[in-house]
Amino acid sequence: MQKKEEDKYQQYKQIGLLTTIPFLLLAGPTVGWLIGSFLDKKFGTEPYLMYLFIILGFIASGKQVYNIIMRASKDNNK
């Protein structure tokens, strides 16, 4: 009985981890766009900093998604 409850807890934990992925993929580039647009207006470098920070946002999001997938697969192998 205890093992079944632990398995259910692990499943809910994995579902919670994996459902954050779409939000991360959206949040990184969005924050990059906001920061880049602000800095472009401040320094008059439109659109270069915006593109740079959007790319950095994609890279950061990809790294976080990779970390989440690795954590979920590690928990699944236990």
pLDDT tens for 18-74 read 999 999 999 999 999 999 999 999 999 999 999 999 999 999 999 999 999 999 888
* Dihedral of alpha carbons 34, 60, 58, 24, sign: negative
* pLDDT at position 50: 98
Whether the pLDDT of residue 3 is over 80: the answer is no
Q: What letter would DSSP give residue 1?
A: -
Q: What letter would DSSP give residue 20?
A: T
pTM score: 0.85
* pLDDT at position 1: 60
Note the Cα 5 to chain centre separation in Å: 29
CB 65 within 8 A of CB 25: yes
Whether the pLDDT of residue 76 is over 90: the answer is no
- DSSP string across 39-73: HHHHHT-TTHHHHHHHHHHHHHHHHHHHHHHHHHH
